[in-house]
Chain A
Amino acid sequence: METLLRVEDLRTQFHTDAGLVHVVDGVNLELKKGEILGIVGESGCGKSVTSLSIMQLLPKGIGKVTSGNISLEGKDILAMSKSELRKMRGSQISMIFQEPMTSLNPVFKVGDQIMEAIRFHMKLSKKEAKSYAIEMLTKVGISRPESVVDEYPHQLSGGMRQRVMIAIAMACEPKILIADEPTTALDVTIQAQILNLMRQLQQEKGTSIMLITHDLGVVAEMCDRVVVMYAGQVVEETDVKSLFKNPKHPYTKGLLASLPQLTSESDRLNSIPGQVPALDEMPVGCRFAPRCEFRMSVCETSNPALLDTGELHNCRCHLYQEEGVSS
């Protein structure tokens, strides 16, 4: 499969309370045409910052990409002009943001906010755009879409606002949809409906989707491949089957072990002991070492590289690097 989006060694810096720190520190990922790529990892590990870096929508003056490459179909996003970026945003890559309550402009009608993107990228007339907006609202499962187009965001519930955001993101049929926890604010039935909608988009239009989520159940159901992030870095990347069957990185193993298992004899919930290191106190060695049960002395002195351990299963861990070296 052809690669649409490639992120190489991305490093993104933020001004935080702890000073100037790299919150994303060497992220590599690849999104292939028509696939759904899951991104999982603990809160604060840099999932949203990675996607904002791709969109070039980092908050000005606070966050910026310091090194690395992001290319869309071979074109370097980091080198794009402002107008190239504008043409890319919304039509080639769209994003559903994590914050549904605040992502819509309170003073404009919902319909106008959907139509804006449609009219800009698809050059439709006002009337055509409006009926298209109503169609999009119907698609995302909003009942009485004809009246909702003329309503303001404060008149909608959180779930409805999230669906409006999804309608905006999907309206111009982008090649890539970045969905940052698109269903966290929704109840289970609507969640399933939205996930189906994304799947349908992927199957019918061949859209590639980057699905950021905390929910490993959603990953299992939706994704083709998965990237696991920890403390600003990718620690494991593989197809979804091997991730669940044969997780390699101790962090991934911990994540899976902390899932409540219906079949397991013990009903004790496992969780990974310890905490994510603070941004300004990153260990020099492996970032997961302080919490790792397989820790070796080398783990505290050198950070392992993300290496292919066979069958396109990448892992950032000394256990497998040793293996690779000795064999």
Chain B
Amino acid sequence: MFGYILRRLLYMIPGFIGIILITFVLSRVLPGDPAVMIAGEQAPPDVIAKIRVELGLDQPIYIQFVDYVKKLFQGDFGTAWHTGHTVLQDFSSRLPATVELTLASIFIAILIAIPVGIIAAVKKESILDHISRVFSLIGACVPIFWLGLMFIFLFYSKWGFFPAPMGRISDGINPPTAITGLYILDSLLSGDMIAFKDSLMHLILPAICLSTGTMAIVARMMRSSMLEVIGQDYIRTARAKGMRESKVIMKHALSNAFIPTLTLLGLQFGFLIGGAVITETIFSWPGVGGYITDSILATDYAPIQAFTLMSAIVFSIVNLIVDVLYGALDPRIRYE
């Protein structure tokens, strides 16, 4: 088991090297000269040339690359020109917001999609099944930006159910004492109910918005794997023993049907990271996603490269965890 995890971690390295290479090349090939962005369009050419030398942009590209990798190994992801901070500083101040949003989305997706999928399968072809089918179809194909704008328009502008889509907490309210960095959790831990309520209200819309696609796909997956399992001989055996139908479904069927859904959840994580960039921008969520949008608009290489690399690492680790869990859930799979 330990050996397996170690091996998987080693196998990730070539992938990461590839990602470092690709993001580096892309960032240099894409149009937009960072020196011009820093100095301003109107700056005289000699000033721009000076900045290019400072940034090392006058060096041949392979030297720039070696420089970049060297710094990566020292934990230096470069400086974000458009904020003036190091990328690491910017990330660490924004990461908790993104983690909170992403975790909330996954939580919502699982909480809704799994029961919906089970019910749709158990009550196949019923009105509930048809309703869930329609919603899944809509959920899977509506783009996040449209959904986000509709949410804001309806629930904030028109009906005022939710606070303005500006950040994680209202201006007049103090953020909770930082423990984990997640406002919901921190406010609960410190017993600050005002901050809890306010940050929860801020979180709900973007979290639902981000979770919709995942929710739709996971619900469909859960339904189809549940349907397949319900038709298996061992389910009939469980019934033949006199088991209660709820136990047949929740114990015998779910323990088998959840396994493929888990894999899907792991893969959806990549989608969530991408979706977070859009969602955070729409809701002015002060996380890494909105920061990356700003970086893209400012042609700021360093944060984009760091974000891509970080996403790849998180995605790989999440899927490694999924595979390990898979082995725990399915005794037929053994890792040596």
Measured CB to CB, the residues of A under 8 A from B are: 55, 57, 59, 61, 82, 86-91, 94-95, 97, 99, 102-108, 113, 116-117, 120-121, 152, 154, 165, 168-169
Interchain CB contact under 8 A, B234 and A116: no
Q: How far is the CA of A55 from the CA of B331 in the complex (A)?
A: 30
Interchain CB contact under 8 A, B240 and A120: no
State the Cβ distance, A106 to closest chain B Cβ, in Å.
6
Known contacts A105-B252, A154-B331; A168/B234 CB under 8 A: no
Interchain CB contact under 8 A, B233 and A86: no
Point out the residue from A82, A86, A102, A152 that lies within 8 Å of B234, measured CB to CB.
A102
A154 contacts across to B, CB distance below 8 A: 331-332
Which parts of B201-260 form the interface with A (CB within 8 Å)? 231-234, 236-245, 252, 255-256
A169 contacts across to B, CB distance below 8 A: 240
State the Cβ distance, B18 to closest chain A Cβ, in Å.
36
Known contacts A97-B233, A105-B237, A105-B238; A86/B331 CB under 8 A: no
Interchain CB contact under 8 A, A116 and B243: yes
Can you name 13 A-B residue pairings with CB atoms under 8 Å?
A61-B125, A82-B245, A86-B242, A102-B232, A103-B233, A103-B234, A105-B238, A107-B329, A120-B243, A154-B331, A154-B332, A168-B241, A169-B240
Interchain CB contact under 8 A, B242 and A107: no
Residue of B nearest to A168 (CB): B241
Instruction: Give 7 closest A-B pairs by Cβ, nearest first.
Output: A90-B242, A117-B241, A102-B233, A105-B234, A152-B331, A89-B242, A90-B241
Interchain CB contact under 8 A, A59 and B332: no
B255 contacts across to A, CB distance below 8 A: 105, 107-108
Give 5 A-B pairs besides A86-B244, A95-B240, A102-B234 with Cβ atoms closer than 8 angstroms. Answer: A97-B240, A102-B232, A105-B256, A107-B330, A116-B238
Interchain CB contact under 8 A, B242 and A121: yes
Residue of B nearest to A58 (CB): B236
Q: How far is the CA of A169 from the CA of B252 in the complex (A)?
A: 18
State the Cβ distance, B254 to closest chain A Cβ, in Å.
10
Q: How far is the CA of A165 from the CA of B330 in the complex (A)?
A: 21
Residue of B nearest to A59 (CB): B231
Q: Say whether B7 faces chain A, with CB atoms less than 8 Å apart.
A: no
A152 contacts across to B, CB distance below 8 A: 331-332
Residue of A nearest to B245 (CB): A82
B238 contacts across to A, CB distance below 8 A: 105, 116
Q: Say whether B197 faces chain A, with CB atoms less than 8 Å apart.
A: no
Known contacts A97-B233, A106-B256; A120/B242 CB under 8 A: yes
Q: Say whether B124 faces chain A, with CB atoms less than 8 Å apart.
A: yes
A82 contacts across to B, CB distance below 8 A: 245
B244 contacts across to A, CB distance below 8 A: 86
Known contacts A61-B124, A97-B233; A106/B331 CB under 8 A: yes
B233 contacts across to A, CB distance below 8 A: 97, 99, 102-103
State the Cβ distance, B215 to closest chain A Cβ, in Å.
25
Interchain CB contact under 8 A, A104 and B234: yes
Point out the residue from A97, A108, A113, A121 that lies within 8 Å of B236, measured CB to CB.
A97
State the Cβ distance, A60 to closest chain B Cβ, in Å.
8
Number of A-B contacts (CB under 8 A): 74
Q: How far is the CA of A3 from the CA of B185 in the complex (A)?
A: 66
Of residues A59, A61, A87, A105, which shows the largest number of chain B Cβ atoms within 10 Å of its Cβ?
A105
Residue of A nearest to B253 (CB): A105
Binary flags per residue of B85-126, CB closer than 8 Å to A gives 1, else 0:
000000000000000000000000000000000000000110
B242 contacts across to A, CB distance below 8 A: 86-91, 117, 120-121
Residue of B nearest to A56 (CB): B239
B234 contacts across to A, CB distance below 8 A: 102-106
Point out the residue from B125, B232, B237, B243 that lies within 8 Å of A165, measured CB to CB.
B237
B331 contacts across to A, CB distance below 8 A: 106-107, 152, 154
State the Cβ distance, A122 to closest chain B Cβ, in Å.
11
Interchain CB contact under 8 A, A106 and B332: yes
Interchain CB contact under 8 A, B240 and A89: yes
Interchain CB contact under 8 A, A90 and B231: no
B332 contacts across to A, CB distance below 8 A: 106, 152, 154
Which parts of B287-334 form the interface with A (CB within 8 Å)? 329-332
Q: How far is the CA of A91 from the CA of B329 in the complex (A)?
A: 30
A91 contacts across to B, CB distance below 8 A: 242
State the Cβ distance, B332 to closest chain A Cβ, in Å.
5
Interchain CB contact under 8 A, A55 and B237: no
State the Cβ distance, B274 to closest chain A Cβ, in Å.
33
Q: How far is the CA of A87 from the CA of B238 in the complex (A)?
A: 13
Q: How far is the CA of A62 from the CA of B237 in the complex (A)?
A: 18
Of residues B124, B232, B245, which shows the largest number of chain A Cβ atoms within 10 Å of its Cβ?
B232
Q: How far is the CA of A95 from the CA of B332 in the complex (A)?
A: 26
Interchain CB contact under 8 A, B330 and A106: yes
Interchain CB contact under 8 A, A89 and B239: yes
Interchain CB contact under 8 A, B243 and A55: no
Residue of A nearest to B329 (CB): A107
Interchain CB contact under 8 A, B236 and A57: yes
Which parts of B120-172 form the interface with A (CB within 8 Å)? 124-125
A103 contacts across to B, CB distance below 8 A: 233-234, 236-237
B124 contacts across to A, CB distance below 8 A: 61
Residue of B nearest to A169 (CB): B240
A117 contacts across to B, CB distance below 8 A: 241-242
Residue of B nearest to A101 (CB): B233
Which parts of B68-91 form the interface with A (CB within 8 Å)? none
Known contacts A61-B124, A91-B242, A102-B232; A97/B237 CB under 8 A: yes
Q: How far is the CA of A319 from the CA of B238 in the complex (A)?
A: 46
A97 contacts across to B, CB distance below 8 A: 233, 236-237, 240
Point out the residue from A86, A107, A168 that lies within 8 Å of B237, measured CB to CB.
A168
Of residues B237, B252, B255, which shows the largest number of chain A Cβ atoms within 10 Å of its Cβ?
B237
Residue of A nearest to B122 (CB): A60
Point out the residue from B231, B243, B256 that lies within 8 Å of A107, measured CB to CB.
B256
State the Cβ distance, A157 to closest chain B Cβ, in Å.
15
B240 contacts across to A, CB distance below 8 A: 55, 57, 89-90, 94-95, 97, 169
